[in-house]
Amino acid sequence: MFDTFKNRLEITGTLTTVTALRISSGRSTEPIGSDLPVIKDALGHPLIPGSSFKGALRSRMESFLRGIVGSNRKLVANPAIEEEWSINSQEMKHIKENFLDDESLTAEIIKQTDLVSHLFGSPWIASKFQVRDLTVQSDAWFGQYQERDGVAIDRDTETAADGKLYDFQVVPAGTPFDFKAIVENAEDWELGLLTIGLHQFETEQIPLGGGRSRGLGVVRLDIDKMRWFDYPEDRPDLLIEYLKKLVMGDDSAYEDATEFKDYWLEKLIEHLNKKISDESQVTSMR
């Protein structure tokens, strides 16, 4: 899948907190300060792990696809439970026993991999989608945090339970973070799936972090650039030119990917219809 370079999509923008954001680093061991501080980088600035963004995006995509194709784990798996993976350990053992050469083995694994894992990765297939940790924009950060109180309620007295009062730290609303993601060697339909997911972040539909039932974690993604390079395999001169432009810092190495969104979405719809049809035939034959 990654032995030959085929294409690359670079996405940059700004992720802004619409409401306060809480991504906790765990309970603090400091004698003073917040009980539950937010994750910070080495300079003490707030940080949003790329894995948090990617996990929230993946979860939303899985929920959408279940609504479209149903709960068939061959189409939409549950990464948290091995028996609900699209290929569990017993099935992987069977595949390896029946497909002995690397090419046929790889083809069969990809064929049986669920839709989301093609893009986001799984224990047996590498992710094509990389999200860098989101760092706060230094010119907009002045060291401001908010401290909020939390408490567990005694269900009998409906008052604060003894010893259950705590405080937690949040990043205030209006804090901007730099966003950058890279996709390599993606199929057109996979890029269509990613386009839908990113749009959810653009329209404030996917919250991040904890305390979401309290209204925390609402964020908005504003994409500045979507830069695209697609390498025709029979044109090595274009790949050489692309690499040369990268070294020289020439942005003309890329095309504007926004022009391809409609095409990628069409390819996603075609792929979903084919997958649904194929799975229906398999089910009817059982």
pLDDT per position as a tens digit, 168-179: 788 899 999 999
Name the pLDDT band for 158 (thresholds 50, 70, 90): low
Helical ranges in the chain per DSSP H = 50-69, 89-98, 102-112, 115-120, 188-202, 236-248, 261-285
For residues 228 and 7, is the Cβ–Cβ distance under 8 A? yes
* Structure-block tokens of residue 248: 């020289």
Domain residue ranges in the chain: 7-41+126-285
| Residue 110 Ramachandran class (φ > 0 left, ψ -120 to 50 alpha, else beta) | alpha
pLDDT score of 162: 55
More confident of the two residues 55 and 235: 55
Q: Read off the pTM.
A: 0.85
Q: Which residues pair with 47 in a beta bridge?
A: 135
